[in-house]
């Protein structure tokens, strides 16, 4: 039997005839935070799915708090809390339902109202709305709350900061600090540039293998895609004055039914609409709104059209957290930020 913490030894994985992991060895001691870094496609998320028991372990073994995942999979899985890059919760369930049932599975004693309060405290303002209707950033918050509500010896956090606003990022960093102080083993998986002061060691993965640690360079230039609400043309000039950040493309996204309904509501119209005239709005957007109104139209102000989503493509020597912070400081509602 291995000692406490997380030990990954000789783990390999083949998916659909392709070798994803090859002889991976990693250890995380109790009270230690280890950062697993690597480019997209290097095998990081596959390893996360193996440790958490989503994928079947075939070659090598993983010891979770001294329990062999190969020999005692149920006990080993119960000793790990994993927050995935993409949530595995039922998309039809609400955050409140999903997290309450999750805490019950792990034997945590949280009441329905306590879970609701924790969600709202973390910025999830619609805890009863179906998960599939939530923004990417809100889904990420729901996923991260598993690590706050459930106490286990091991925590695996896969891309925990992607898409978070600055306030949620700080709460997540404090959560990692707390689990570290409690003597938990934390494996943090990320390809986000920059350094994290609570990380004890960094492990690099490339092409499914652990490779020697290399000295980190300055934050490299990367391409970023951000989905925001509240975009105005004035933001172009403001972005031009942001050192290290370049705006490449601005695209108004096709509105969802909910966005059309919200926009109509801001005009004092119901779903049936009234006989009015549209004189200012993007072409595709106008067509969708007119279709919903059955041919009626209305003047749409800049403030009203800002209810719609805008996709921004940016480049620069800046982290995802810094992009999020800058956009929010300039009055934009950030729905999602990711590297492309």
Answer left, alpha or beta for residue 135, where phi above 0 means left and psi between -120 and 50 means alpha: beta
- Return all residues near 17 (Cβ < 8 A) that are at least 6 apart: none
pLDDT at residue 297, as a whole number: 47
- 143 pLDDT exceeds 50? yes
Query: Does residue 302 fall inside a structural domain?
Result: yes
CA distance 319 to 143: 22
- Mean pLDDT across 66-77: 91
Question: What residue has token string 């329905």?
Answer: 112
10 and 128 fall within a common domain: yes
pLDDT at residue 276, as a whole number: 45
pLDDT at residue 86, as a whole number: 85
Domain count, the chain: 2
Query: Does residue 273 fall inside a structural domain?
Result: yes
Query: Does residue 19 fall inside a structural domain?
Result: yes
31 and 166 fall within a common domain: yes
pLDDT in tens, 152-199: 999 999 988 877 777 888 888 899 999 999 999 999 998 665 557 788
Mark which of 179, 211, 243 sits at the end of a domain.
Answer: 211
pLDDT at residue 30, as a whole number: 93
Query: Does residue 154 fall inside a structural domain?
Result: yes
Query: Does residue 217 fall inside a structural domain?
Result: no
- 219 pLDDT exceeds 90? no
136 and 262 fall within a common domain: no
Lowest mean pLDDT among 15-29, 206-220, 276-290: 276-290
CA distances from 89 to 96, 123, 145, 169 (A): 11, 19, 12, 21
- Following DSSP, what letter does each residue of 233-274 receive, concatenated? THHHHHHHTSTTEEEEEEEEPPPPHHHHHHHHHHTT--TT--
Q: What angle do CA 258, 239, 159 make, to 5 degrees?
A: 60
- Following DSSP, what letter does each residue of 266-335 receive, concatenated? HTT--TT--S----SS-HHHHHHHHHHHTT------HHHHTTSEEEEEEEES--HHHHHHHHHHTT-EEE
Mark which of 211, 234, 259 sits at the end of a domain.
Answer: 211
With CA atoms as reference, report the closest residue to 52 among 147, 138, 122. Answer: 147
CA distance 55 to 35: 21
98 and 201 fall within a common domain: yes
Query: Does residue 216 fall inside a structural domain?
Result: no
Is the model more confident about 10 or about 295? 10
pLDDT in tens, 253-297: 877 767 666 666 666 665 554 444 444 445 555 556 555 655 544
206 and 227 fall within a common domain: no
pLDDT in tens, 120-138: 888 888 889 998 988 888 8
50 and 195 fall within a common domain: yes
- Which two tokens mark 151? 């106490």
CATH of the domain at 164: 3.40.50.300
180 and 285 fall within a common domain: no
Query: Does residue 133 fall inside a structural domain?
Result: yes
Query: Does residue 1 fall inside a structural domain?
Result: no
pLDDT at residue 34, as a whole number: 94
146 and 232 fall within a common domain: no
292 and 206 fall within a common domain: no
pLDDT at residue 242, as a whole number: 62
Range of the domain at 108: 6-211
Mark which of 211, 235, 259 sits at the end of a domain.
Answer: 211
- Which two tokens mark 297? 């139209």
75 and 196 fall within a common domain: yes
Tell me the pTM. 0.62
Helix axis angle, 166-181 to 136-149, nearest 10°: 20
CA distance 160 to 192: 10
90 and 188 fall within a common domain: yes
CA distance 175 to 122: 12
269 and 329 fall within a common domain: yes
pLDDT in tens, 114-124: 999 988 888 88
CA distance 141 to 130: 14
- Mean pLDDT across 230-255: 75
């Amino acid at each position: 039997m291995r000692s406490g913490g997380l030990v990954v030894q000789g783990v390999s994985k083949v998916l659909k005839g392709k070798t994803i992991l090859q002889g991976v060895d990693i250890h995380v001691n109790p009270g230690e935070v280890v950062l697993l870094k690597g480019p997209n496609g290097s095998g990081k998320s596959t390893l996360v799915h193996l440790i958490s028991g989503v994928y079947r372990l075939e070659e090598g073994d993983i010891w979770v708090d001294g329990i062999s995942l190969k020999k005692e999979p149920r006990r080993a899985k119960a000793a790990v809390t994993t927050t995935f890059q993409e949530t595995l919760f039922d998309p039809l369930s609400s955050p409140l339902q999903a997290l309450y049932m999750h805490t019950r599975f792990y034997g945590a004693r949280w009441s329905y109202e306590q879970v609701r309060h924790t969600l709202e405290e973390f910025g999830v303002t619609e805890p009863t709305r179906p998960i599939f209707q939530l923004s990417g950033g809100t889904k990420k918050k729901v996923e991260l709350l598993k690590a706050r509500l459930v106490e286990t010896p091991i925590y695996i956090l896969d891309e925990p900061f992607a898409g978070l606003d600055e306030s949620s990022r700080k709460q997540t960093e404090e959560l990692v600090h707390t689990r570290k102080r409690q003597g938990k083993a934390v494996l943090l998986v990320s390809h986000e540039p920059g350094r994290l002061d609570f990380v004890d060691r960094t492990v690099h993965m490339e092409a499914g293998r652990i490779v020697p640690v290399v000295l980190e360079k300055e934050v490299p230039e990367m391409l970023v895609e951000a989905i925001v609400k509240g975009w105005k043309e004035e933001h172009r000039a403001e972005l031009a004055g942001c050192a290290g950040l370049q705006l490449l493309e601005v695209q108004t996204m096709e509105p969802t039914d909910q966005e059309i309904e919200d926009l109509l509501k801001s005009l004092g119209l119901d779903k049936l609409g009234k006989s009015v005239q549209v004189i200012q709005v993007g072409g595709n957007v106008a067509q969708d709104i007119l279709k919903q109104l059955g041919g009626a139209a209305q003047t749409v102000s800049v403030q009203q059209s800002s209810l719609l989503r805008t996709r921004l493509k940016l480049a620069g020597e800046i982290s995802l957290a810094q992009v999020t912070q800058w956009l929010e400081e300039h009055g934009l509602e950030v729905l999602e930020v990711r590297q492309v």
